Structure 1
Amino acid sequence: MSPDQNQTLPPQTQEQQPGRETQMNPRPDYEPRYPGSGRLKDKVALVTGGDSGIGRAVAVLFAREGASVAIVYLNEGEDAQETKRLVEREGGRCVTIAGDIGDPGFARAAVDRTIKEFGKLDVLVNNAAEQHPKKDIAEITPEQIERTFRTNIFGYFHVTQAAMPHLKEGAAIINTTSVTAYRGSSELLDYSATKGAIVAFNRSLAQKLAEKKIRVNGVAPGPIWTPLIPSTFDADKVKSFGANTPMKRPGQPNEVAPSYLFLACADSSYITGSVLHPNGGDATES
């Protein structure tokens, strides 16, 4: 089979993380596929990494279902403002909050801003992440390990700790892990390790909060077309992104967002400590 038969996307790359959705070709598909039915009516959600990719699709879908949304992002201001516009187009209120969730002070400030703007918090989506592929474990510096863990798992702790005083009975926490937590990734050792940690965090927190009637679940996406991809990999790798799945293509953010909606609303009222796997048929979950 020639390389062209494995092509799923136009070759492209971006020079720095976080990537920009405005520079992607084609743009990821965030549009919800169905009319809203009020499943999150009058709810307030906080979505980290909500400016683009999966986070954008989740924010827009939540808004369609009646939620107000606070989105946290690092420094992708243009993408964040576009997500705000899209949320407001759906009739939702939106606040954008820039900063690094790896900083516990900022995590507290982000939650405080959400409470100040909307008066409560019903759904927390821990979603922000970064990844830095290396071909050899010897190339992974202590600084990179610390940075990846600080964003991908420390940040989940910080934001969740800040949110806990505001989460009441019936609230939901949704943690983004990854297919790499289950099947590994030879060039994303530190990233995969953080995603495995998120699975354990998810299960343990679910047990802890069950008595408070707060549900905790996760989503483990497979290869999804988001700004993290062209800002992580070279053009040749991007060109065949997702081709190794049984469905032979990458997923789109709006194919993942419904998993978050299901876990956020009462449809999943008897589910906690679980992980959903929108991954194109990669049968590795357990």
Structure 2
Amino acid sequence: MSNPQPAQSQEHPGFEAGLDPQADHGEQSYRGSGRLEGKATVITGGDSGIGRAVAIAFAREGADVLIGYLPAEEEDARATAGWIEDAGRTAVLVPGDLADPAHCREIVDRAVSEFGRIDVLVNNAAFQMSRPTLEDVPDEEWDQTIAVNLDALFHVTKAALPHMQAGGSIINTTSVNSDQPPPQLIAYDATKAGIANFTAALAQQYGPKGIRANSVAPGPIWTPLIPATMEPEEVEQFGAGTPLGRPGQPAELAPVYVMLASDESSYVSGARIAVTGGMPIL
């Protein structure tokens, strides 16, 4: 099987327009059926990749969507907002750096100001960088990975919980890397394992209040983060080692997030759902 993408690189954080081939976020394929009608939703990292696919799906299912993103990703964020608005729903854009706890709280404050509540929170934003050994990881890069992937998860969720009622859903993006950690992504691996455990504990804490918490564990998914954080030769082989022999598309993740966000999953909490192309998780 030939590689589905050529060797390539981008400057971090990476942009959709630079991907070769272009990623599929369900722009032409996702069809909604009212499963999230009227829900107020928040997606961090909602400008591109998995976050864009989830935002499109949520809007087509009837949800209003606030997306958080880095200021450098404004063009991608506005494109995502366009798809939300095309579905007839409200799109709210909140740029900023999730490594700043104040910005994490700003996202929640803005959602409450715009929507009056939060029904669904998707903690999806993440940072990674490929390094050959632990000694090659700069201290500040380790700190940034923890801040964006774990600390922001804590700050956003803590701020959101007082504004969520029974029936609310929290969905956190973890990774197959939590179970099959590539050595060159050691910092990212550690955060994704942390997210899995955070989610499991959260489900137990807030189940009595009727708030569900679940996580999605993607395998290799074709997003701008890949050429922006990996060497070109790694990009060329990205996803080739899965049983399906290719990376997944963001559109292939979105239905799982919709299911977990919907009231149809009212007894699903503490779950971790693998979307990995056949790579097992424990």
- When the two structures are superposed, what TM-score results if normalisation uses the length of structure 1? 0.96
Deviation readout 1:230-276 (Å, 9 max, x if unpaired): 10112222122100000000000000111101100012111111111
1:23 correspondence with 2:18? yes
Q: Which residue of 1 aligns with 2:91?
A: 94
The structure 2 residue matched to 1:164, chosen from 158, 161, 166, is: 161
> Which residues in structure 2 correspond to 1:46-61 (within 5 Å)?
46-61=42-57
Equivalent residues of 1:28, 1:226 under 8 A apart: yes
1:243 correspondence with 2:235? no
> Which residues in structure 2 correspond to 1:174-253 (within 5 Å)?
174-253=171-250
Q: Which residue of 2 aligns with 1:267?
A: 264
Percent of pairs with identical residues = 48
Q: Which amino acid aligns with 1:208?
A: Q
- For structure 1, the residue ranges without an aligned partner over 5 or more in a row are none
Q: Distance in 2 between matches of 1:270 and 1:115?
A: 26
SS of equivalent residue, structure 2 residue 184: coil
Q: Distance in 1 between matches of 2:270 and 2:129?
A: 28
Runs of 4+ in 1 over 3 A off after TM superposition: none
Q: Distance in 1 between matches of 2:20 and 2:264?
A: 35
Q: Which residue of 2 aligns with 1:103?
A: 100
- For structure 2, the residue ranges without an aligned partner over 5 or more in a row are none
Q: Which residue of 2 aligns with 1:44?
A: 40
Number of aligned positions between the proteins: 280
1:256 correspondence with 2:253? yes
Equivalent residues of 2:30, 2:57 under 8 A apart: no
Following superposition, the deviation at residue 11 of structure 1 comes to 2.1
SS of equivalent residue, structure 2 residue 56: helix
Following superposition, the deviation at residue 6 of structure 1 comes to 4.7
Q: Distance in 1 between matches of 2:102 and 2:5?
A: 39
